[in-house]
Chains A and B, each alone.
Chain A
């Protein structure tokens, strides 16, 4: 039994959440749906940790679905790069599920909760598949499974705010255009190389490069993934989607959805198209880096002027995704490992922040605007302190996870000697303190308004938030695990690109 599970881990990671989803949809008891979701996401966390322990030494697991040999059959590949992403995603997914139970009670009707967790499990399973699959077309299928399920989750925010429906619709249309762009690209690549398996495509591209069709395919594939990863200027669906979705959904999407797309972007750039390094280098330095910096500034400046807390942090997510994309765009092993470090840390930071906002909303029973949070630090001290820790981590204060991200990113930029980029990153970091200060001042410095009702804190909400907040401190003090795993991940991406050694 044990060995069956071990040899089939990659398939189980996708199959277990996807199979539990329809079971959850059948039941209308809220607690049963939640229990199924906890089992599903908890099992995927265990599977991901097992995969991580199997691959951390540099082993590359290749799983053949249905025993069809690649390149004909669909292959799942787990190496140190994808297993790190999987651990981050499944860990935060599990914590988000723990917190979801109380967060959804005010926002979603009791009888819909079973279906809510069904979509929740579909998002998780789809995103895990997206990270593992080594088949270019299969990737599109997982992209759409997770996208359609996230649209359902976002639309369920209509119970409290009808704008969630419009946000969901826009994400559906923009996401579908992005996914279709990706499919067009795959079509061109298939026409030129005759293969859909990523490693096989990578080995065939040198023969076909120089043909314009390959470049067109490359452009379409990257453009499609940029939409899904919410990189400026195709991030426009993200702020509305994150801010009108139910609080629990914002937590899940902010911590895992764009991370999977960013990982896919890294793999397309550095593995699939490793056979034409000159074109990829041009794309990195002339497209990805300027867009990343644009995203950092647009996100930060929009966040400074935003009064709605959830939307503010959604804009801040655009900026943070910009930092990750910048790490990928610089294209050196050090910068890519900095990007992986920030994928993990940003998932921790934003997961904690959106959970805490969910806690405020649940306690206040109203949308969290700046005004409604006046003096909340004294009214909900436990939740607000965890929120403060995650906020400081976002600003990059030493002894928090965010500091480690900034440290390694700045080091990687220094290595490339691009001082303009360095100064822009430092300026934007300083600007991010502006919007954080704006919130912290309202929460902690201003007196509690007179006649405000006493609020009670629910352990089911603040315990998961505190686990994430302590994670932020833990990875700020002892980042060695994340740093070495990210280094392995970057090496793996580049190692494969140099012609396939492990």
Chain B
């Protein structure tokens, strides 16, 4: 089975991870789990790019002066370095928002938050105005 997939088995893993992540984002109501799903989804794209950069038989792209050497493509790795930074920033900001949501609503379950919104939609957050966003 594995041999039949040949060179493409890492793309199969990418698809599995991507669908897992996207499913968690859509189906989970827990805000932190949603964020974990988002991270898995983004990670699958990182693996996709890194797989693209591999040239069959290529070595690490460090010039050795030999014109016959076959190198892998380093560009996708560099792109993904940027995308990882973006992903970390997204996760950090998401977690910070979840902290504040937990303080304001007393829950990180989406359905409980919706219920709380309906009950007292204009209630102010528990923390006073001058203390937020630290």
Contacts and interface: CB of A to CB of B under 8 A. Distances in A.
A172 B93 contact: yes
A303 interface: no
Q: In the complex, which of the residues B100, B121, B123 has the most CB atoms of chain A within 10 Å of its own CB atom?
A: B100
Contact of A158 (B98, B117, B125): B125
Contacts of B89: 144, 148
A367 B82 contact: no
Interface residues of A, number: 36
Contacts of A331: none
A162 B52 CA distance: 44
Interface string B31-70: 1001100100110010011001000000000000000000
B45 A155 contact: no
B74 to A, nearest CB: 13
A213 B38 CA distance: 24
B41 A115 contact: no
A197 B66 CA distance: 30
B13 interface: no
Nearest to B42: A180
Interface string A102-123: 0000000111100100000000
A371 interface: no
**How many of chain B's residues touch chain A, expressed as a range?**
35 or more
Interface string B101-112: 100110000000
Contacts of B25: 173, 177
A162 B41 CA distance: 28
B90 interface: yes
A140 interface: yes
A223 B13 CA distance: 23
Nearest to A147: B90
A364 interface: no
Contact of B97 (A109, A112, A141, A155): A155
A148 B93 contact: yes
B15 to A, nearest CB: 11
B93 A158 contact: no
Interface in A136-184: 137, 140-141, 144, 148, 151-152, 155-156, 158-163, 165-166, 168-169, 172-173, 176-177, 179-180, 183-184
B129 A169 contact: no
B19 interface: no
Nearest to B117: A163
Contact of A191 (B52, B90, B129): B52
